Amino acid sequence: MCARFNLTYPTALVLRALAEGYRHGFDLMDVTGLASGTVYPLLRRLEALGLVAARWEAEDAAHREGRPARRYYQLSAEGAAVLADASRKFTGLDAGLRSPGSARPDPV
């Protein structure tokens, strides 16, 4: 899989954050420290490559909280395999994640 695209550190960081349970775009920005102009294009590319799957959360649950439903992202099996490669390539990947601040991982 790594041969299909250039596995960069920001990509690895996003994959790691997804594995940690952070599933929404703005939350991924919080824990990776990457800008939205980096995170979102990465997510689109990862989704196009099948490494990440995107879904909408349940409407009724969101409306109970008085907000529109958000889109969330999850690692696919292939994405988990790429993350394993990334962990070998980029040591200290966990240290690259920031303390979440307002973001918190969603129940997986």
Partner 1 sequence: MHTAPRLIALAARLVPSAARAEWKREWTAEVLHRRASLERRGAFGWTARLDLALRILGALPDALAMRRIATRWDDMEAGLFTARPVRTLGACAVLAVAAAVLTVGFTAIASSGASAPGILAVAAVSIGTGLLLASVEAAAGVLTGVPATPIWTRPASAARRHDRDATLVALLGAAEGLALTLAASRWPPTSGAERILSKGLGSGAFAFHAGVSAALAILLALRLRRAPAG
Contact residues: partner 1, CB under 8 A: 24-26, 29, 35-41, 44-45, 47-50, 62, 66-71, 102
Q: How far is the CB of 69 from partner 1 (least distance, A)?
A: 6
Alpha carbons 19 and 30: distance in angstroms, whole number: 15
Alpha carbons 46 and 40: distance in angstroms, whole number: 10
Name the residue nearer to partner 1 (CB basis): 12 or 46.
46
DSSP 68: P
Name the residue nearer to partner 1 (CB basis): 20 or 47.
47
Name the residue nearer to partner 1 (CB basis): 1 or 94.
1
Tell me whether strands 71-75 and 52-56 are parallel, antiparallel or unpaired.
antiparallel
